[in-house]
Amino acid sequence: MSLTPRPVRTFALVAVPLASLLGGALVAALPLPLATGALPNLPLILLIAWASLAPRLLPPWSLFLVGLVQDAIAGLPLGVMALVLPVIRIAIRFGEDRMMLRDLRSGWLAAAALVMLAAALELVALAIASRAAAPAALLLQAGLTILCYPPALAFVAALAERLARA
Protein backbone atom coordinates (compact mmCIF):
# COMPACT_ATOMS: atom_id res chain seq x y z
CA MET A 1 0.00 0.00 0.00
CA SER A 2 1.51 3.31 -1.01
CA LEU A 3 0.44 6.70 0.10
CA THR A 4 0.49 9.54 -2.36
CA PRO A 5 1.69 12.97 -1.27
CA ARG A 6 -1.54 14.61 -2.46
CA PRO A 7 -3.75 13.71 0.55
CA VAL A 8 -1.06 14.87 2.97
CA ARG A 9 -0.79 18.19 1.16
CA THR A 10 -4.58 18.65 1.15
CA PHE A 11 -4.71 17.86 4.86
CA ALA A 12 -1.86 20.31 5.53
CA LEU A 13 -3.65 23.06 3.61
CA VAL A 14 -6.52 22.73 6.06
CA ALA A 15 -4.61 21.83 9.22
CA VAL A 16 -1.74 24.35 9.21
CA PRO A 17 -3.85 27.54 9.26
CA LEU A 18 -6.20 26.03 11.84
CA ALA A 19 -3.28 24.87 14.01
CA SER A 20 -1.68 28.31 13.87
CA LEU A 21 -4.88 29.92 15.17
CA LEU A 22 -5.23 27.29 17.91
CA GLY A 23 -1.59 27.89 18.86
CA GLY A 24 -2.34 31.60 19.09
CA ALA A 25 -5.25 30.83 21.43
CA LEU A 26 -3.03 28.62 23.58
CA VAL A 27 -0.48 31.42 24.04
CA ALA A 28 -3.08 33.13 26.22
CA ALA A 29 -2.80 30.22 28.67
CA LEU A 30 0.93 30.75 29.19
CA PRO A 31 1.93 32.50 32.42
CA LEU A 32 3.50 35.55 30.78
CA PRO A 33 4.61 38.40 33.08
CA LEU A 34 3.22 41.38 31.21
CA ALA A 35 3.22 44.96 32.47
CA THR A 36 -0.11 45.77 30.83
CA GLY A 37 -1.93 42.62 31.93
CA ALA A 38 -3.39 42.36 28.43
CA LEU A 39 -2.52 40.06 25.58
CA PRO A 40 -3.16 40.66 21.90
CA ASN A 41 -5.92 38.60 20.32
CA LEU A 42 -3.54 36.33 18.39
CA PRO A 43 -6.17 34.10 16.75
CA LEU A 44 -7.87 37.20 15.37
CA ILE A 45 -4.72 38.77 13.92
CA LEU A 46 -3.59 35.41 12.52
CA LEU A 47 -7.02 35.03 10.90
CA ILE A 48 -6.60 38.44 9.28
CA ALA A 49 -3.07 37.57 8.13
CA TRP A 50 -4.22 34.25 6.62
CA ALA A 51 -7.07 36.09 4.89
CA SER A 52 -4.55 38.56 3.45
CA LEU A 53 -2.33 35.85 1.98
CA ALA A 54 -4.53 32.78 1.43
CA PRO A 55 -8.17 33.77 1.93
CA ARG A 56 -9.79 30.42 1.13
CA LEU A 57 -7.95 28.30 3.71
CA LEU A 58 -10.03 29.20 6.79
CA PRO A 59 -13.76 28.49 6.44
CA PRO A 60 -16.08 30.10 9.02
CA TRP A 61 -17.06 26.73 10.57
CA SER A 62 -13.44 26.05 11.57
CA LEU A 63 -13.25 29.47 13.18
CA PHE A 64 -16.24 28.61 15.32
CA LEU A 65 -14.21 25.75 16.82
CA VAL A 66 -11.17 27.98 17.35
CA GLY A 67 -13.45 30.54 19.01
CA LEU A 68 -14.80 27.91 21.41
CA VAL A 69 -11.25 26.95 22.38
CA GLN A 70 -10.32 30.61 22.82
CA ASP A 71 -13.43 31.20 24.96
CA ALA A 72 -12.56 28.23 27.19
CA ILE A 73 -8.93 29.30 27.60
CA ALA A 74 -9.68 32.98 28.20
CA GLY A 75 -12.54 32.31 30.61
CA LEU A 76 -15.06 34.06 28.41
CA PRO A 77 -18.67 32.88 28.16
CA LEU A 78 -18.74 30.10 25.58
CA GLY A 79 -19.78 31.54 22.27
CA VAL A 80 -18.29 35.05 22.43
CA MET A 81 -15.19 34.47 20.28
CA ALA A 82 -17.00 31.58 18.58
CA LEU A 83 -19.30 34.28 17.22
CA VAL A 84 -16.70 37.01 16.64
CA LEU A 85 -14.15 35.01 14.59
CA PRO A 86 -16.63 33.63 11.98
CA VAL A 87 -18.31 37.04 11.66
CA ILE A 88 -14.93 38.67 10.99
CA ARG A 89 -14.17 35.95 8.41
CA ILE A 90 -17.49 36.61 6.70
CA ALA A 91 -16.73 40.37 6.73
CA ILE A 92 -13.37 39.60 5.14
CA ARG A 93 -15.06 37.48 2.49
CA PHE A 94 -17.24 40.44 1.49
CA GLY A 95 -14.16 42.59 0.99
CA GLU A 96 -11.84 39.82 -0.22
CA ASP A 97 -10.99 41.46 -3.54
CA ARG A 98 -9.85 44.59 -1.74
CA MET A 99 -8.31 42.67 1.20
CA MET A 100 -5.64 40.89 -0.82
CA LEU A 101 -2.31 42.22 0.34
CA ARG A 102 -1.14 45.10 -1.82
CA ASP A 103 1.21 46.85 0.57
CA LEU A 104 1.84 46.77 4.29
CA ARG A 105 0.23 50.14 4.99
CA SER A 106 -3.12 49.37 3.38
CA GLY A 107 -3.13 45.85 4.82
CA TRP A 108 -2.38 47.21 8.28
CA LEU A 109 -5.18 49.77 7.95
CA ALA A 110 -7.64 47.06 6.89
CA ALA A 111 -6.46 44.86 9.76
CA ALA A 112 -6.95 47.74 12.22
CA ALA A 113 -10.52 48.25 11.00
CA LEU A 114 -11.26 44.54 11.35
CA VAL A 115 -9.73 44.38 14.83
CA MET A 116 -11.84 47.34 15.95
CA LEU A 117 -14.94 45.68 14.47
CA ALA A 118 -14.07 42.49 16.38
CA ALA A 119 -13.64 44.47 19.63
CA ALA A 120 -17.06 46.07 19.14
CA LEU A 121 -18.63 42.67 18.42
CA GLU A 122 -16.94 41.19 21.49
CA LEU A 123 -18.26 44.04 23.65
CA VAL A 124 -21.81 43.47 22.36
CA ALA A 125 -21.55 39.68 22.78
CA LEU A 126 -20.30 40.10 26.35
CA ALA A 127 -23.18 42.47 27.10
CA ILE A 128 -25.67 39.93 25.72
CA ALA A 129 -24.06 37.27 27.93
CA SER A 130 -24.56 39.62 30.92
CA ARG A 131 -20.82 39.85 31.46
CA ALA A 132 -19.57 43.37 31.96
CA ALA A 133 -16.43 44.25 30.07
CA ALA A 134 -14.34 47.36 30.42
CA PRO A 135 -14.18 49.08 27.03
CA ALA A 136 -10.73 50.44 27.96
CA ALA A 137 -9.40 46.88 28.39
CA LEU A 138 -10.83 45.85 25.02
CA LEU A 139 -9.29 48.95 23.41
CA LEU A 140 -5.91 48.09 24.93
CA GLN A 141 -6.19 44.54 23.63
CA ALA A 142 -7.24 45.86 20.20
CA GLY A 143 -4.24 48.22 20.12
CA LEU A 144 -1.85 45.41 21.00
CA THR A 145 -3.47 43.19 18.39
CA ILE A 146 -3.08 45.84 15.70
CA LEU A 147 0.61 46.22 16.59
CA CYS A 148 1.05 42.47 16.07
CA TYR A 149 -0.04 42.62 12.43
CA PRO A 150 3.44 42.82 10.79
CA PRO A 151 4.97 39.90 12.75
CA ALA A 152 1.78 37.86 12.30
CA LEU A 153 1.89 38.54 8.56
CA ALA A 154 5.54 37.47 8.38
CA PHE A 155 4.78 34.29 10.35
CA VAL A 156 1.84 33.38 8.11
CA ALA A 157 3.85 34.19 4.97
CA ALA A 158 6.56 31.77 6.11
CA LEU A 159 3.97 29.06 6.79
CA ALA A 160 2.25 29.66 3.45
CA GLU A 161 5.59 29.47 1.62
CA ARG A 162 6.38 26.15 3.28
CA LEU A 163 2.93 24.86 2.35
CA ALA A 164 3.45 25.91 -1.25
CA ARG A 165 6.77 24.03 -1.40
CA ALA A 166 5.34 20.86 0.19
Rounded Cα–Cα distance for residues 8 and 166 (Å): 9
Residue 1: its pLDDT value, please? 43
Q: How many domains does the chain have?
A: 1
Residues 6+ apart with CB under 8 A from 123: 133, 135, 138
Q: Which domain holds residue 128?
A: 5-165
Given pLDDT bands bounded at 50, 70 and 90, which one contains residue 78?
very high
Position 37 pLDDT exceeds 70: no
Residues 6+ apart with CB under 8 A from 64: 82, 85, 86
Closest CA to 114 of 43, 39, 64: 43
Q: Mind listing the pLDDT tens digit for each residue in 138-165? A: 999 999 999 999 999 999 999 999 888 8
Residue 53: its pLDDT value, please? 87
